[in-house]
Amino acid sequence: MKRKRVVILGATGSIGESAAKVARDIPDRMEIVGIAANSNAQKLAAQANELRPGAVCLVDEAKLDELRRNLNYQPQIFAGERGLCEIASAVEADMVLIAIVGTAGLRPALAAIEAGRHLAVASKEILVMAGEIVMREARARDIPVLPVDSEHNAIFQCLDGRASEVRRIILTASGGPFRQTPAGVFSTITVEEALKHPTWNMGPKITVDSATLFNKGLEMIEAHWLFGVGMARVEVVIHPQSIVHSMVEFSDGSVLAQLSHSNMCFPIQYAVTWPERVPNSLPPLDFAKLSKLEFATPRYDDFPALNLARRAGEIGGTLPAVLNAANEIAVSAFLEKRMSFPRIWQTVAQVMDRHRSVAQPDLDAILAADQWAREEARRVIAA
């Protein structure tokens, strides 16, 4: 099989760096031909100098000079938000990996599909916001959408194309740093405490989402769209060890699970080499050393994110986009120490309550709901 030529949007982030590791690990299967980032010109240049992609994109145009100064070769350079769509579609590639935090990857993902590129999606936010549209566009062009989120990659592996025989999808959740913290002290939780994830090392936004369990809520909706399974059949179980990455129960009652160490290189590699598997240098599981694998029901009352997400997913329309956008604004206010930890879900709940969902929204209606929710969340936070 030939080498996959991959463009990485969000190359300087946690997923982007893991993707670069995979490319180093399986060089005859994966070649990075384009990289894009938001504003870290130095890091992007350093990555480019090492990986030598033919194309580089920086969204922050004010830093283009800095990028050029730090490059020691001359790749094609794209800039601005427009540049993201261009690098996703104009560069000769087989696959585009969307690893941008938040929703900025949506238009580039659609541009990539339109250009016939296979899509690997880490950015769950774009599937929460516009999963129906992304999946419909991909299906219309026969473009595979490969999940990189570890749970969805696990489900994709377990399903192996048999989505119609599914009884339940069981998403595992580590429970985050506050799995055992009494709800009574949630209002004293600091940013530093929220950023200490017990099992995964990730960017700040998703780390806070893992602490509130909004991450799992977003993932429920993500699973619904990726696999075409109704929300009622998507469940969550707490699994503190993060070894079982998710499970599928089939109509005959058999359950398949995917296990590995908690390292994003596993799902990234599978997305790149699918449908094949190839050897790598990642550490195998040693079952003699795994003392135990535990499972428990989430504390739904103490972590309202799960039920908010279930409601958003069930009502559908523009409500998932509203939940996602309000959460992004709330998380950044928390990270900037402008409000307490519980106010994240309180803000999201208030914004959702004020929204009138539009059924079967087109992209414009979704983008409008997203903008409305951001402004509404800012108002709620400022009040």
Interaction of residue 149 with ligand NAD, rule CB under 6 A: yes
Q: Pick from Mg ion, ligand NAD, none: which does 10 bind, CB < 5 to 8 A by kind?
A: ligand NAD
Q: Which is nearer to ligand NAD, 101 or 236 (CB)?
A: 101
Q: Which is nearer to ligand NAD, 7 or 15 (CB)?
A: 15
Measured at the CA of 128, the angle between CA 126 and CA 133, to 5 degrees, comes to: 70
Please list every residue from 49 through 108 that binds ligand NAD, using CB under 6 A: 59, 84, 99-102, 104
Shortest distance, position 59 Cβ to ligand NAD, whole Å: 4
Strand pairing category for 255-259 and 244-250: antiparallel
Q: Pick from ligand NAD, Mg ion, none: which does 16 bind, CB < 5 to 8 A by kind?
A: ligand NAD
Please list every residue from 194 through 213 that binds ligand NAD, using CB under 6 A: 200, 202-203, 205-206
Stretch that binds Mg ion, among 129-137, 147-155, 160-168, 267-275 (CB under 5 A): 147-155
- For residue 23, what are the contacts with CB-CB under 8 A and spacing of at least 6? 6, 30, 31, 32, 51
Q: Pick from Mg ion, ligand NAD, none: which does 349 bind, CB < 5 to 8 A by kind?
A: none
- For residue 155, what are the contacts with CB-CB under 8 A and spacing of at least 6? 147, 169, 171, 223, 226, 227, 246, 247, 248, 258
Q: Pick from ligand NAD, Mg ion, none: which does 264 bind, CB < 5 to 8 A by kind?
A: ligand NAD
Tokens, residue 242: 């993060």
Interaction of residue 11 with ligand NAD, rule CB under 6 A: yes
Count of residues of this chain found to bind Mg ion when the rule CB under 5 A is applied: 3
Interaction of residue 146 with ligand NAD, rule CB under 6 A: no
SS3 235: strand
56 touches 77 (CB < 8 A)? yes
CA–CA separation, 260 and 269 (whole Å): 13
Q: Which is nearer to ligand NAD, 184 or 283 (CB)?
A: 283
212 touches 326 (CB < 8 A)? no
CA–CA separation, 207 and 220 (whole Å): 17
Q: Pick from Mg ion, ligand NAD, none: which does 330 bind, CB < 5 to 8 A by kind?
A: none
Shortest distance, position 336 Cβ to ligand NAD, whole Å: 15
Stretch that binds ligand NAD, among 119-127, 166-174, 222-230, 253-261 (CB under 6 A): 119-127
Shortest distance, position 240 Cβ to ligand NAD, whole Å: 17
Interaction of residue 151 with Mg ion, rule CB under 5 A: yes
Of the candidate residues 149, 249, 328, 376, the single one contacting Mg ion (CB under 5 A): 149
Interaction of residue 258 with ligand NAD, rule CB under 6 A: no
- For residue 59, what are the contacts with CB-CB under 8 A and spacing of at least 6? 36, 37, 38, 39, 79, 80, 81, 83, 84, 104
Interaction of residue 376 with Mg ion, rule CB under 5 A: no
Interaction of residue 350 with ligand NAD, rule CB under 6 A: no
Shortest distance, position 121 Cβ to ligand NAD, whole Å: 9
236 touches 173 (CB < 8 A)? yes
The full length of the chain comes to 383
The amino acid that residue 310 corresponds to is: R
218 touches 125 (CB < 8 A)? yes
Shortest distance, position 46 Cβ to ligand NAD, whole Å: 13
Nearest to 6 by CA among 21, 25, 19: 19
CA–CA separation, 222 and 219 (whole Å): 5
SS3 255: strand
CA–CA separation, 143 and 135 (whole Å): 9
The binding site for ligand NAD (CB under 6 A) comprises 10-16, 37-38, 40, 59, 84, 99-102, 104, 122-125, 149, 200, 202-203, 205-206, 264
